[in-house]
Structure 1
Amino acid sequence: MDLLLAERTFVPYGPSHWALMALIVVGSVVLAVVGRRYRDSEGARWFARGFALVMLAFLVPMLVYRHLPSQWDVEVSLPFHLCDLAWMTAAFALWTRSQWAYALTYYWGLTLTPQAMITPALDAPDFPHIDFIDFWAQHLAVVWAAVFLTWGIGMRPGWRDLWRSAAVTVCWGVVMLVFNEWAGTNYGFLNSKPENPSLLDLMGGWPWYLGVELVVGLAGWALVTWPWTVRASRSPAAATPRRPRWPRSSRG
């Protein structure tokens, strides 16, 4: 029995992990192709909004599930991890095409979320357990939304977006540091490192790894912003507008 339970526990870089890594690549390619094909069309608008509704229809019940008395744990149930905020922001960006929401989805979804997927802090049974599905659905949805909005319908980040997103992220971090200290939690892994191996292990002890993480994060965000700004400066006429030119609709 113990052996059977061990085999059903999620293991990093086991079969289910590799299957999900392949799924994120395939899904990203499909969404980029679909978005480009219908870019600036009414179909793109409704596809994006349908995507947002699917995210909400699945992830909101998961959020409610974590708050049930049988599942409640102050250390994990509250939607305070950055991945929780990321899927909410991604759904809003898909529905509204808001630039600030898109920028957060882009930076969080293409830098921080992949880190959580490569070194998942998931101490739960393997597929098809609901905790497994909840964890991976959140992360997959955010990455797919960022890819669809960027390489699909053509939204782009700029330097102002970088600094605005960094300010939001730092404010979240400060609030979480205070809350974690008060509640005895560790949302965002800001008060201690996760037990599983991660990139934070290369950044020193607490609190030094927070400063290193900030510097490395800003450098990474600058690297994923720079190509778009260079392309726009070299060919302003060819630069894709930040807000897709979807046809106007009497329904908004």
Structure 2
Amino acid sequence: MSLFGGSSKGIRFEAFGTSHLIVIGLLVLCMIGLYIGRNKLKELNLRKVEFGIAGLLIVADLLYNIWMVKNDIWRTSDSLPLQLCSISLYLVILLLLTRNKLVYEIVLFTGILGAMQAVLTPYLFFDFPHFRFIHFFGTHSLIILVPLYFTWVIGYRPTIYSIGKVFLFLNILMPFIMLVNKKTDGNYMFLGGKPETKSVLNYLGEYPYYIVSLEGVLLVLSLLLWVGLREKNKKLRKETEISM
């Protein structure tokens, strides 16, 4: 079997199989480690590391496209970088290169919520150690970890207005994605139908009504994420810092 081939025969991915559970466990450990070590990381100059991760993601995306072309599976209907996680990947790269606060506000929600759903219910056919398995979980994990790094280490925080910005961004993007879907017979951002694999969309009604339901779910999850990561009461935060 080829670890770079286009056929999943012999290494077909199994949801919540051993390799999948290991990846989820490693991601959770990285998130915990990032949070526990946030104060020590604040003392370091990690700008070169940020550039390095951005470069790594650019190379990973380039290799992925080369792999698709080489195996004759690159198609305008599903290979353009217009899925939510692909868009979030480019936003993460932009955030790492610029440290732009608006980019952070958008990718904090699109990245964490979108990539987390992708990690738990992946649209994937190749198991470890295939290139696509490593690429898929490596990039999606960084889409989650980078915004958390900017929250816990760099000190950026979302506001209630950040949620409005995310919804504005997505709803401006949606008509363009629908037009591309129509022109390419694609299903980017699953705006043309549900994915073949199980996902949260299976519980949100039939097409096109699940799109409205999904926006409701996104709003609830965004509010929960904002509550968990927003800047807490400054007075309480200062008292906590003094006591430490």
Shorter-chain TM band: 0.7 to 0.9
Name the amino acid aligned to 1:127.
F
Q: Note if 1:80 corresponds to 2:82.
A: yes
Q: Cα distance, 1:68 vs. partner?
A: 4.8
- For the Cα contact (< 8 Å) 2:11–2:130, is it kept in 1? no
Distance 1:144 1:55, change over 3 A: same
Matched residue SS, 2:110: helix
Once the two structures are overlaid, the 10-residue window that deviates more, 126-135 or 83-92, is: 126-135
Matched residue SS, 2:15: coil
Distance 1:230 1:95, change over 3 A: closer
- For the Cα contact (< 8 Å) 2:83–2:189, is it kept in 1? yes
Q: Cα distance, 1:228 vs. partner?
A: 4.7
TM-score (norm 2): 0.85
Question: Aligned partners of 2:32 and 2:39: how far apart in 1?
Answer: 11
Q: Cα distance, 1:138 vs. partner?
A: 2.1
- For the Cα contact (< 8 Å) 2:157–2:231, is it kept in 1? no
- For the Cα contact (< 8 Å) 2:193–2:207, is it kept in 1? yes
Q: Residue deviations 1:118-171, cap 9 Å, x none? A: 11121x221122222222222111011122111222211112221111111122
Q: Note if 1:108 corresponds to 2:110.
A: yes
Identify the match of residue 93 of structure 1 among 95, 98, 104: 95
Which residue matches 1:43?
45
Identify the match of residue 18 of structure 1 among 21, 24, 27: 21
Name the amino acid aligned to 2:184.
A
Distance 1:230 1:30, change over 3 A: closer
Name the amino acid aligned to 2:154.
I
Question: Aligned partners of 2:87 and 2:46: how far apart in 1?
Answer: 24
Q: Note if 1:139 corresponds to 2:159.
A: no
Which residue matches 2:54?
52
Number of matched residues? 233
Once the two structures are overlaid, the 10-residue window that deviates more, 145-154 or 193-202, is: 145-154
- For the Cα contact (< 8 Å) 1:105–1:145, is it kept in 2? no
Stretches of structure 1 lacking an aligned partner (at least 5 in a row)? 240-252
Which residue matches 1:222?
223
Which residue matches 2:242?
none
Stretches of structure 2 lacking an aligned partner (at least 5 in a row)? 2-7, 240-244
Distance 1:228 1:10, change over 3 A: closer
Name the amino acid aligned to 1:23.
L
Which residue matches 1:121?
123
Q: Residue deviations 1:18-42, cap 9 Å, x none? A: 0110111122233334543132x56
Aligned-residue CA RMSD (Å): 2.5
Distance 1:227 1:15, change over 3 A: closer
Question: Aligned partners of 2:93 and 2:28: how far apart in 1?
Answer: 20
Name the amino acid aligned to 2:60.
F
TM-score (norm 1): 0.82
Q: Cα distance, 1:205 vs. partner?
A: 0.3
Name the amino acid aligned to 1:148.
Y
Q: How high is the sequence identity, in percent, across the aligned residues? A: 24
- For the Cα contact (< 8 Å) 2:65–2:74, is it kept in 1? no
Question: Aligned partners of 1:169 and 1:84: how far apart in 2?
Answer: 14
Identify the match of residue 9 of structure 1 among 6, 12, 15: 12
Distance 1:164 1:64, change over 3 A: farther
Matched residue SS, 1:231: coil
Q: Cα distance, 1:181 vs. partner?
A: 1.9
1:162-201 maps to which residues of 2 (within 5 A)? 162-201=163-202
Name the amino acid aligned to 1:126.
D
Which residue matches 1:235?
235
